[in-house]
């Protein structure tokens, strides 16, 4: 086992391990850390934690220091420079006529490199752009292509629930989401309601899947034939919260809501 400090470079971003400093830190502190590319600003997620050496890449990089007032002033200045750098880069992308959309720019704290994040439908040959940017900013330039989910994570926004997007607040990893998850929760298969701001199926479709699967064991499936107190019918929808089943009667075509306890399955011949 080895003692580590856990940090993130972006909100809800990937977690990285560093060597804990002698001076104690607390969750939420901002620190300057050494990386392979230079110094960067990071937020402490877990001050001290013991991990198996098998899960750690050694040697651990060190924490330079907790950010002080001078560091914060420099960081605020860097953020302004990042905004200007993004504006300049957009102009150069237009000049080179590249099929890419710039999302964000990030300087290393020591300005050892400047990273630009972009999205594109396919691969982009940006070698000429990198050379142009290197001459402009006099530092190492990196361009990183990210997917539509990561674009939304980075830009943020409000979800259909009225709250800030999970991916930009706390969701670190993207799970595989399928239409079957919406079907299992008896949700409308309207694409506009199932999709998030990224255009992909909403991540929250997976949050309650396990509970729905457990609760649905005692219910018929949509399309099943059932016998109700009003006669035979076909299941069209289910509300597991009210414990009711929406049924269309075979003989009359009437639509009724029946308590789940009042229906019995009918085997189709």
Q: Domains in the chain and their CATH numbers?
A: 2-67 (no CATH), 72-146 (3.30.300), 152-212 (no CATH), 219-265 (2.30.30.140)
Enter the DSSP assignment of 200: S
- pLDDT single digits (tens) 174-190: 989 999 898 888 887 88
Q: What are phi and psi of 120, to 5 degrees?
A: -160, 155
Confidence grade of residue 58 (pLDDT, cut at 50, 70, 90): confident
Q: Is the pLDDT of residue 92 over 90?
A: yes
Q: Quick one: average pLDDT of 148-167?
A: 92
Burial of 233 (0-12, 13-18, 19+ CB in 10 A): buried
User: What was the pLDDT predicted at 268?
Assistant: 59
User: 144, 115 in Cβ contact below 8 A?
Assistant: yes
What pLDDT score does 157 carry? 92
Peptide bond into 59 cis (omega under 30): yes
pLDDT, mean of residues 39-59: 87
């Amino acid at each position: 086992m080895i003692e580590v400090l856990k940090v993130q470079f972006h909100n809800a971003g990937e977690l990285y391990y560093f060597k804990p400093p002698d001076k104690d830190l607390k969750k939420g502190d901002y620190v300057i850390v050494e990386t392979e590319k230079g110094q960067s600003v990071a937020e402490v997620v877990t001050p001290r934690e013991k991990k198996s050496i098998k899960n750690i890449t050694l040697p651990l990089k060190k924490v330079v220091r907790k950010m002080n007032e001078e560091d914060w002033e420099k960081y605020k200045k860097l953020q302004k420079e990042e905004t200007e750098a993004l504006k300049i880069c957009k102009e150069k992308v237009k000049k080179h006529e590249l099929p890419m959309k710039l999302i964000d720019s990030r300087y290393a704290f020591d300005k050892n490199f400047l990273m630009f994040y972009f999205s594109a439908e396919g691969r982009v040959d940006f070698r000429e752009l990198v050379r142009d940017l290197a001459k402009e900013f006099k530092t190492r330039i990196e361009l990183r292509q990210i997917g539509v989910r990561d674009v939304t994570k980075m830009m943020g926004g409000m979800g259909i629930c009225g709250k800030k997007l999970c991916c930009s607040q706390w969701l670190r990893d993207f799970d595989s989401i399928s239409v079957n998850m919406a079907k299992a929760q008896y949700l409308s298969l309207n694409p506009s309601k199932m999709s998030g701001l990224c255009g992909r199926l909403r991540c929250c479709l997976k949050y309650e899947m396990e509970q729905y699967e457990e609760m649905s064991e005692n219910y018929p499936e949509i399309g099943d034939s059932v016998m109700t107190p009003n006669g035979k019918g076909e299941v069209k929808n289910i509300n597991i919260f009210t414990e009711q089943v929406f049924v269309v009667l075979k003989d009359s075509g009437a639509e009724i809501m029946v308590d789940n306890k009042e229906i019995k399955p009918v085997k189709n011949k």
